[in-house]
């Protein structure tokens, strides 16, 4: 098999794996240039190692696999080859092909616990339960250097609303509608508001003027929750922090609704 084909297929397989397997995807999504290339090469070497192990196992234990080597030889005629060898040219071609297929396949297989991040269920076996924290752990690890994304994740996991202050002085209190996505640069935040108001110009204290929760909790309200969602461009945010409504009522004696959950 030609060296150029070998290099292209191995790097492509490494790239496919790095953009499919969640731990790598979260870190490679915002990389470019030589960093992404080196990551692809690193995983290409890993896949070649796994493919080599599979090739040795199949060559020694699986007779139909030898027929695959004969089929590969029809595309890459090899001179002076009298019998199959575990490291012959057709075997090397087979190893590369296996690694090429393993890139996306193995990446998806290793992502099997991801669905548990989207479903809130109780696991009866404690030794299995850690698998269902897999996606949450990966997410927190990927955003550990991004304070804003960490705040969003904290709100999603704890149901604690966030107070957003815009550069115009407008203030919103609400829940983020979606969890952080490390594969994308955040340009806006979509929230379901509970309260809104403004900061006074001199003392910068918050005054609430609109109570969305009383409307959302009204049984006669026929509008869906989506109708109340607000999209805030991140470039207009000046201050964001967690906001506990019960503590705010207790210490500041503002007439705002208690925590609805």
The overall longest dimension of the chain from CA atoms, in Å, is: 90
Q: Same domain, yes or no, for 109 and 7?
A: yes
In a domain, 161, yes or no: yes
pLDDT at residue number 90: 72
How many CB atoms lie under 10 A from the CB of residue 136? Answer: 15
In a domain, 66, yes or no: yes
In a domain, 132, yes or no: no
Into how many domains does the chain fold? 2
Of 100, 129, 105, the closest CA to residue 11 belongs to 100
Please write the tens of the pLDDT for every residue from 25-47.
777 766 666 777 888 888 999 99
pLDDT at residue number 197: 92
Average pLDDT along the chain, 261 residues, taken 10 residues at a time: 65 87 74 75 90 87 76 60 65 82 87 55 43 67 82 88 94 89 84 91 85 76 80 93 84 56 43
How is residue 100 written in tokens?
């090429």
Q: Same domain, yes or no, for 99 and 198?
A: no
Of 227, 215, 214, 216, the closest CA to residue 258 belongs to 214
In a domain, 125, yes or no: no
CATH number of 247's domain: 2.30.30.100
Range of the domain at 46: 3-114
In a domain, 124, yes or no: no
Cα separation of 256 and 149, whole Å?
27
In a domain, 134, yes or no: no
Q: Same domain, yes or no, for 159 and 224?
A: yes
Cα separation of 45 and 51, whole Å?
10
How is residue 94 written in tokens?
């087979």
Of 231, 230, 229, 235, the closest CA to residue 167 belongs to 235
In a domain, 261, yes or no: no
Q: Same domain, yes or no, for 100 and 164?
A: no
How is residue 131 written in tokens?
């698998």
3-state secondary structure of 89: helix
Q: Same domain, yes or no, for 64 and 110?
A: yes
Cα separation of 106 and 14, whole Å?
11
Domain boundary among 70, 96, 114: 114
Tell me the β-bridge partners of 196: 172, 210
Q: Same domain, yes or no, for 15 and 108?
A: yes
Q: Same domain, yes or no, for 110 and 29?
A: yes
In a domain, 57, yes or no: yes
Cα separation of 55 and 61, whole Å?
10
Q: Same domain, yes or no, for 151 and 108?
A: no
């Amino acid at each position: 098999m030609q060296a150029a084909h070998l290099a292209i297929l191995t790097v492509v397989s490494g790239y496919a794996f790095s953009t499919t397997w969640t731990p790598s995807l979260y870190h490679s999504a915002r990389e470019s240039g030589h960093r992404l290339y080196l990551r692809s090469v690193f995983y290409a070497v890993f896949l070649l190692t796994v493919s080599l192990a599979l090739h040795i196992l199949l060559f020694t234990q699986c007779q139909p696999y030898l027929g695959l080597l004969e089929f590969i030889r029809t595309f890459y005629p090899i001179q002076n080859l009298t019998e199959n060898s575990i490291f012959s040219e057709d075997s090397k071609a087979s190893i590369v092909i296996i690694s090429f297929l393993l890139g996306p396949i193995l990446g998806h297989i290793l992502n099997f616990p991801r669905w548990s991040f989207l479903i809130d269920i109780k696991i009866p076996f404690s030794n299995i339960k850690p698998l269902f924290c897999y996606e949450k752990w990966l997410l927190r690890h990927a955003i550990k250097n991004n304070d804003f994304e960490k705040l969003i994740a904290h709100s999603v996991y704890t149901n604690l609303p966030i107070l957003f202050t815009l550069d115009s002085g407008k203030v919103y209190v609400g829940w983020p509608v979606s969890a952080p996505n490390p594969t994308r640069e955040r340009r806006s935040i979509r929230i379901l508001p509970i309260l809104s108001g403004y900061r006074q110009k001199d003392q910068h204290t918050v005054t609430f003027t609109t109570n969305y929760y009383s409307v959302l909790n009204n049984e006669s309200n026929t509008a869906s929750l989506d109708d109340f969602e607000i999209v805030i461009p991140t470039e207009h945010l000046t201050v964001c922090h967690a906001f506990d409504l019960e503590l705010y009522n207790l210490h500041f004696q503002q007439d705002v609704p208690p925590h609805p959950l």
